[in-house]
Amino acid sequence: MAIELRHLRYFIAVAEELHFGRAAERLNISQPPLSQQIQSLENSINAQLLERNNRNVKLTPAGNMFLEEAYQILAQVDAATTKAARMQKGELGEISIGFTSTTPFMPKITLSLRQFRERYPEVSIHMHQMNTKQQLSPLLTGRIDMGIMRNTQLPDNLESRLLFRESFVLAVYDGHPLLEYTEQGVKLEMLAGYPLVFFEREVGTALYDEIMTLLAQAGVTPMISQEAGEAMTILGLVSAGLGISVVTESFTRMKVDGVQYIPLADNYSFSEVWLVNHKNRPVSAAANRLTKLLISNILNEKNK
């Protein structure tokens, strides 16, 4: 006979009560079936667990050992049941997220991550910094569950959701002549002839493409004087007077001495931020909770 959890519960009741009648009443069953189940349990494990006569019921040494093991087994089952239910609700688990270098400077996203950590501390979040195009392969293979990235061409198996649009701004050094246009904004066509500090092509893939497209639409052939792989390095080079840079609004959260930001007057100059996941791979409940929180915070921000 296969041992079932009910056999363990029956045995624990008898072992704690040391009386078949009281145990049967506690289990809400009649006494003869209870006695039969205990006898079957003993036969199955080939060990006598209880000494009984008309007056007394006592645990044998094997029964004492089995009682402790039975407690542990039921405790493990209860714990597994609780964990499974909490994982189904998104209160436990792991989420692996790809993100671009500018993501930590996007307040809508950092707020959502902080709130999620406070609400669901037992969900492990693993963040992986990658540029937009570097995220595609891990999303396809399942190494990451979701990606926060810029507008790009996606493989057929990936799907995107627009989170928000970020305006482009111009980062210049103190005393730059374009600062006189701070109020009305700078048109992209006015950047012709100015040396630019730019992302390295292989690092800021999506931003590089977007900015190059905008400049081309404005008829500007960029004069790139310096390239850098990190956002802070770009701003540092701007501060040193080695050029100006077209960056997204999230860069303005980085306060660098000697760098000022000017809005662009072109109303079409913005970058899209996407949340991307695999179309056919199930999304965990925890990832769904994070997505809903992120969308909710973005909608609330829009409605302010």
Look up the CATH number of the domain holding residue 256.
3.40.190.10
Sign of CA dihedral 20, 21, 25, 31: positive
pLDDT band, very low/low/confident/very high, at 1 (cuts 50, 70, 90) = low
> Residues 15-37: pLDDT tens digits?
999 999 999 999 999 999 999 99
Q: Do 49 and 113 fall within a single domain? A: no
Residue ranges of alpha helices (H) inside the chain are: 5-17, 20-27, 31-45, 61-88, 107-119, 136-141, 205-217, 231-239, 285-303
Q: Do 135 and 158 fall within a single domain? A: yes
- Whose CA is closest to 5, among 63, 73, 61? 73
Could you give the 3-state DSSP secondary structure of residue 238?
helix
Could you give the 3-state DSSP secondary structure of residue 150?
strand
pLDDT of residue 204: 57
> Residues 234-266: pLDDT tens digits?
999 999 999 999 999 998 988 899 999 999 997
pLDDT of residue 60: 95
Q: Do 128 and 189 fall within a single domain? A: no
Q: Which domain holds residue 41?
A: 5-89
Q: Do 202 and 251 fall within a single domain? A: yes
Residue ranges of alpha helices (H) inside 57-197 are: 61-88, 107-119, 136-141
> Residues 286-304: pLDDT tens digits?
999 999 999 999 888 766 6
Residue 3 has pLDDT above 90, yes or no: no
**Domain containing residue 46: CATH number:** 1.10.10.10
Q: Do 52 and 195 fall within a single domain? A: no
